[in-house]
Amino acid sequence: MFEKVDYSTLNSRQRENYDFQKVSGVLADYGYNCLRLSDDWQGADFIACHISGDIFLKVQLKGCLTLDRKYQGKGVHVAFFGGGACFIYPHDAFLQEALGHDKINESASWRDHGSYTWPGIPGWAKPFLENYKV
C-alpha cells in the first residue's frame, strides 16, 4: 500500500505537487501554514503564512537554484532542494548577489531569455544561501 515514489519518474506537474508537499512539511516546523495557489499569482506557487500573523511569503517552487526576470520586484521567494537541504531565498536579493559576483551578467541565458539556473549550488553562492537553508 505504501511504496515510495521515484522522483525521476514523475512528470513536471507531479514534481511540483511533490515539492510543494515537501517544502510545506519543512516550513511547518518553523510555524508556517502553506496555501497552494491555483495559478502563479504575482509569481508565486503558494503563500507561506507564519503563525504570528506578521509574515507572508510569496513562494515560487523550482527544481534548482533559479533567477528569472519575471520574478523581479514582486517580493518572491524561491524554494528548491539542493545539496540535501531545502532553501527558500528572496529572489531579488540573490539576483543582486549574482550580479555583484558577475556570474550571469554576460550569459546568453540571462541576456536573451531573462533567466538563469544552476544544476548545483556554486561555491560563491553557498555563503548567501546558508542564511536561507531550512
Contacts of 133 (CB under 8 A, 6+ apart): 85, 86, 87
Per CATH, the number for 7-130 is 3.40.1350
Work out the mean pLDDT of the chain and round it to a whole number.
94
Q: Is the pLDDT of residue 10 over 80?
A: yes
Residue 81 confidence (pLDDT): 93
Helix, strand, coil percent content, the chain, rounded in steps of 5:
35, 35, 30
For the chain, the structural domain boundaries read 7-130
CA distance 33 to 47: 8
How many other C-beta atoms can be found within 10 angstroms of the C-beta atom of residue 123? 7
Q: Predicted confidence band at 14 (pLDDT cuts at 50, 70, 90)?
A: very high
Q: What is the pLDDT of residues 38-59, one digit of tens each?
A: 887 888 999 999 999 999 999 9
Residue 105 confidence (pLDDT): 82
Give the predicted TM-score (pTM) of the model.
0.92
